[in-house]
Amino acid sequence: MMARFSGVRQPHFGATPCACRPRAGARWVPCVAGRKDGVSLDSLVPQTLEEMEGDAELQAVLKSIEEEGQAALTKREQRGRQRSLEKLNMPNFSKACADAGVTPLKRGAAKILQLNIGLYCNQACTHCHVESSPKRTEMMSFEVANRCLELLDDAPSVATLDLTGGAPELNPTFRHLVEGARARGREVIDRCNLTVLEEPGQEDLADFLAALRVRVVASLPCYSQKNVDLQRGSGVFERSVRGLQKLNAVGYGVPGTGLTLDLVYNPGGPFLAPPQESLEGAYRTELREAFGVEFSSLLALNNMPIKRYYDWLERRGGLEEYMGLLLEGFNPGAAEGLMCRDTVSVGWDGRVYDCDFNQQLEMTLAGGSGESGLTVFDLGSLGELEGRGILVDNHCFGCTAGSGSGCQGATE
């Protein structure tokens, strides 16, 4: 039997990022802008769990994690990427940067503190690099969250607290962290999957975000229902559009309000993200005309060949081709703006990393009192990280291909 993962939610391969345009008379998405607060729609979680159960590929991955352990699978992935690079006869990432005259890969003063506050998510997307789903239970504690806020006190160079997950809003520390960082005068980013706005208990989320003037960075990998649902689960597009409408209704993305709503595009198949500017116009026109949705800017990211996306590529024999694409697209200019130069990444358990990708690959920074690497409790201040060499490996080619790719969009 064809797996649902393959048959229903398979990322599409195609020459262009999105050939599908919403048709005239496309499926109607009811606007919630006029609804009173307190109206709660059904949670997406039961549907996500049902799709996960029927997804033979995902079940196989979960079984491997259970039997072999995450660390063993992470090593296997690393070897797989390395084999592909060797077949392509290409140097490793550090050498590629050095040969191209890229500024040494060392940490500068931190400008962004990014916290992955938990892996629980109401979705289970095919490309998810953190392997989130409603089955994940890892969550940041208040002890770790408070330590991160303390570190902000002594970090004047850090202008932004960037909250990610999973679905960060579903973590008990989310609003505490938002309030704490805003009280300290920092910008806060909420990496929002949009469907969370319809989860029970989140009826006031849009108002909360607007009141605290949080910048919302929302995932929407395409402006067509078909492509979004393939990548993120059936019904996700409809819910996402309703989420956008809800955010627009409180002022997000509306010129003059100062409330920023950025959208994130990532390719639906093994190709690089096109230039942000060219895609942004198409998104704006399509979302405005079909759904009356407004947004601030579009960020275009590449898919990293790790975790679920690695599995997906490998099962289809597409890993080598994709690594080849990343190598071909290696852009020294993009390497200058790598996010790991000025972002500190902290995991739900307080461990410290150079970036969220390294976090998922367990590339913890050395040092600290425990055996599992440096934690926020080992650091006197974030300034202690300045000047450290960045831990890089073969997945890093995902950040330097094309226009470059990082959590803030293109890096060139």
Is 4 one of the binding residues for ligand SF4 (CB under 6 A)?
A: no
Binder of ligand SF4 out of 264, 323, 357, 394 (CB under 6 A): 357
Q: Output the smallest distance, CB 354 to ligand SF4, in A.
A: 5
Contact with ligand SF4 (CB under 6 A) among 263, 300, 355, 365: 355
Q: Between 149 and 339, whose beta carbon lies closer to ligand SF4?
A: 339
> Based on CB atoms, which residue is closest to ligand SF4, 149 or 402?
402
Shortest Cβ 397–ligand SF4 spacing (Å): 8
If the CB atoms of residues 223 and 357 are measured against ligand SF4, the closer one turns out to be: 357
Please choose, out of 165-173, 181-189, 278-286, 311-319, the segment that lies near ligand SF4 by the rule CB under 6 A: 165-173
45 makes contact with ligand SF4 (CB under 6 A): no
302 touches 402 (CB < 8 A) = yes
User: In this chain, which of 113, 124, 209, 325 binds ligand SF4, going by CB under 6 A?
Assistant: 124
Q: Which is nearer to ligand SF4, 163 or 338 (CB)?
A: 338
Alpha-carbon distance 391 to 363, whole Å?
Answer: 7
* Contact with ligand SF4 (CB under 6 A) among 10, 84, 114, 123: 123
- In this complex, which beta carbon is closest to ligand SF4, that of residue 29 or of residue 338? 338
Can residue 163 be called a binding residue for ligand SF4 (CB under 6 A)? no
Shortest distance, position 256 Cβ to ligand SF4, whole Å: 30
User: Shortest Cβ distance from residue 86 to ligand SF4 (Å)?
Assistant: 19
Q: Which stretch binds ligand SF4 (CB under 6 A): 50-58, 108-116, 199-207, 394-402?
A: 394-402
Q: Which is nearer to ligand SF4, 194 or 293 (CB)?
A: 194
Kindly state the tokens that stand for 318: 């597409």
Does the protein bind ligand SF4 through residue 392 (CB under 6 A)? yes
Stretch that binds ligand SF4, among 57-65, 120-128, 287-295, 368-376 (CB under 6 A): 120-128
Interaction between residue 130 and ligand SF4 (CB under 6 A): yes
Q: Which residues bind ligand SF4 (CB under 6 A)?
A: 121, 123-125, 128, 130, 132, 165-167, 193, 219, 232, 338-340, 354-355, 357-358, 390, 392, 395-396, 399
